[in-house]
Amino acid sequence: MVTVKSLADLKQVKKAIEAQAKLEAERRAERERVARQSTADKDLFIKAAGAVQPLTDKRQALLKKEQPKPIPVQRERDEQAVLVEAISDEFDVSTLLDADEHMSFRRPGIGPDVTRKLRRGDWAIQREIDLHGLRTDEARGALGQFIRDARKHGIRCVRVVHGKGLGSPGKTPVLKSRVHSWLVQKKEVLAFVQAKPAEGGAGALIVLLQPAG
């Protein structure tokens, strides 16, 4: 604390205060000038450089998000619709079957040696489907899907188990005759024969499919 003893001391204190105020004013003015100059330099650079984009940090790996594959719902519906339309329960297959020792079928252009080879087991059975216990519409859809899946995987020889119909009303093998009709209508089927006793006998068929592609 400064003690003022005389008028001269008072003047001295006043001068010191004024000098301090002037110094503070000069410092404030300098800070404002520097700030204005910095803003002006930045604006000038932006005008000269134009629009710029920040550089990519090459130290970071840019990973693309894997998009989920679309589900071909409509295609599956179309295939199912074609499947249902392509197989009729009213198709009369009786004239197309060979009434030999054991019932068989071969598509026009397929020689009798094919059915003989099927009976001998020259083609190994690669897959089978059992239609026991299914209703007619369920069995039709299951068989059509089975054949399409087999073709997609390059399967040539399959077994279709339809049963002997012993549990049907009147012991009439309804499903057996329907399976014959459905297979004949499928262009993928080249031939089929009744299975050997050890492979199902009269309750199953050995089916030869077209090669994939």
30 and 133 co-located in one domain = no
110 and 31 co-located in one domain = no
Render each residue's pLDDT in the chain as its tens digit; 213 residues.
Answer: 555 566 676 677 677 788 888 888 888 888 888 888 878 777 776 676 666 666 666 666 666 667 766 666 666 655 555 555 456 555 555 555 665 556 789 999 999 999 999 999 999 999 999 998 899 999 999 999 999 999 999 999 999 999 986 655 555 568 988 999 999 999 999 999 999 999 999 899 999 999 886
pLDDT at 110: 93
105 and 26 co-located in one domain = no
13 and 96 co-located in one domain = no
Q: Residue 195's domain spans which residues?
A: 91-209
What CATH code is carried by the domain that includes residue 197?
3.30.1370.110
pLDDT in tens, 81-120: 555 545 655 555 555 566 555 678 999 999 999 999 999 9
Residue 70 maps to a domain: no
Residue 33 maps to a domain: yes
The number of C-alpha atoms within 13 Å of 209 and in the hemisphere containing its C-beta is 26
113 and 194 co-located in one domain = yes
103 and 203 co-located in one domain = yes
Residue 73 maps to a domain: no
Name the one residue in this structure whose structure tokens are 């940090």. 57
111 and 205 co-located in one domain = yes
Residue 62 maps to a domain: no
Residue 138 maps to a domain: yes
34 and 95 co-located in one domain = no
Between CA 159 and CA 88 the distance in angstroms is 21
Quote the number of domains for the chain. 2
pLDDT at 38: 78
Residue 175 maps to a domain: yes
Residue 122 maps to a domain: yes
pLDDT at 183: 94
111 and 193 co-located in one domain = yes
**Global confidence as pTM:** 0.56
35 and 95 co-located in one domain = no
Task: Provide CB contacts within 8 A for 105, sequence distance 6+.
Answer: 93, 96, 97, 98, 115, 180, 183, 184, 189, 191, 192, 193
pLDDT at 97: 63
Sheet of strand 127-130: strand arrangement: 104-106, 189-194, 204-209, 157-161, 127-130
Residue 84 maps to a domain: no
